[in-house]
Structure 1
Amino acid sequence: MQQLLLDVFTPPRPTLSNFLVGQNGQLVYELRELIQMKGTSPFVYIYGPSGCGKSHLLRGVASQLGVNVIAGGNRFVFKPGEQALVIDNIDRLTPYSQVQLFNAFNSSMAENKPGKIVLAGEHPTTELKLRDDLRTRIEAGLCLRVHPLSDQEKHAALQAMAKSRGLQLSEEVIEYALRYFQRDMGSLMAVMDGLDRFSLEQQKPVSVNLLRHWMKRRESLVIREYETRTV
């Protein structure tokens, strides 16, 4: 039970299916088309502020393409035999890695390897501090903004999730969660998942008092776990 409570903030494995779409219906459609090789372009760049769901989308795409997501801050070396390329935080690419990505675009256009390139960053291409020739390659594909969920959409999503689990969430509980927890949907869904399990363990309905009790218990378990590891 301790490990269960320690892990409650781990969001479920990101997929395109469990991404909360909101205003991003066209974006998700284009990513699905790209995966099935039906898209208008094999190159897609998605952008938006931190916490809007970019990494979730990239991991969902990468999983279906059978590749890993490359972190933009890590050293990237293009391998001509790669079948697909997925890179997050391209605004953090070093000059060397930018050259490697430029080479990947050229290889894809000439030899169709990698056949698909999916990238993500926080800013539109006009604001990216990248090489001009690389920016031109990125702009030749689809550049799509990821719209964050509004509080109203998050509210509706949490209610829908609760309903699917047979939970009754009061307005007070949802407002408390939106006020005091990380506001990205992955974290909020993980909180609801852990709270659901704690409610079953305690045999009590979900309430703000139960939420506070669960948080105090979790904090004490985290401290205990930390003390055990440092002894």
Structure 2
Amino acid sequence: MSMQQLLLDVFTPPKPNLGNFLVGKNAQVLHSLHALAQPSPANRLIYLYGPPGCGKSHLLKGAAELLGAGVLKGADRFVFKSATPTLIVDDIDQLTPYSQVQLFNACNAHLAGEKPVNIVMGSTYHPAELKIRDDLRTRISAGLCWRVEPLTDEEKFNALQAVARGRGLELSEEVVEYALRYFQRDMGSLMAVMDGLDRFSLEQHKPVSVHLLRHWMKRRESLVVKE
């Protein structure tokens, strides 16, 4: 891999799955999603909500990988198909009126014991705050509703340190605090930063430091491709 490829690709977060989700206070949420792969989970209709960056989209993609399904976005128009075993929809607050009817029909089929067997949904809003049709909101509320709790700065700090130790890196408190202060604070982006910084440290034959981090950023910015 060329140096240009190395630096331009470093902010690509790892592919989300349930195994690389940093749990924090969301152990029960993760357990309920893993349970969907079991023969008789207690709940197969699950709604996740929480603020941007909390990890709910990561969890939906992880559930999709686990169950061999895709993830629909609320802004995408879709038609409910009765043969679909698993339906996963993110940003349901953006559903069009037509798509809301389709999701309502899917929920009714699910509650009647038909397909889809699994329905997993997500958005920023608590069910009561969703600006969608009342009957669909009622169906969603009848399932298992989880608030996905964001990691605290302390949890992010500890997670980054743990990842670094696993790679044989020594990160000073100053380096981690710099990353938390100046980069996107979702864990996918922060993990991508650690990955890129690790590779750059090896290429430069220098230990990780704030100085190296700044140098890496300057090198990366100088390689931005202009259209």
Scaled to the shorter chain, the TM-score interval is: over 0.9
* Residue 112 (structure 1) aligns with: 114
Aligned amino acid, residue 9 of structure 1: F
1:112 shift after superposition: 2.0
1:184 to 168, 183, 186: 186
Structure 1 runs (4+) greater than 4 angstroms displaced: none
* Residue 68 (structure 2) aligns with: 66
* TM-score normalized by the length of structure 1: 0.95
Distance 1:146 1:111 in 2: 27
Distance 1:110 1:52 in 2: 32
Q: List alignment gaps of at least 5 residues for structure 1.
A: none
Aligned pair count reads 225
* Residue 100 (structure 2) aligns with: 98
1:81 to 80, 83, 102: 83
What pairs up with 1:203-222 in 2 under 5 angstroms? 203-222=205-224
Aligned amino acid, residue 177 of structure 2: E
Distance 2:22 2:6 in 1: 25
Distance 2:77 2:6 in 1: 35
Distance 2:209 2:6 in 1: 20
* TM-score normalized by the length of structure 2: 0.97
Q: CA RMSD in A?
A: 0.9
1:4 shift after superposition: 2.1
Distance 1:166 1:69 in 2: 35
* Contact preservation (8 Å) 1:158, 1:174: yes
* Contact preservation (8 Å) 1:11, 1:187: yes
* Residue 45 (structure 2) aligns with: 43
Distance 1:179 1:38 in 2: 44
* Residue 25 (structure 2) aligns with: 23
Distance 2:197 2:100 in 1: 44
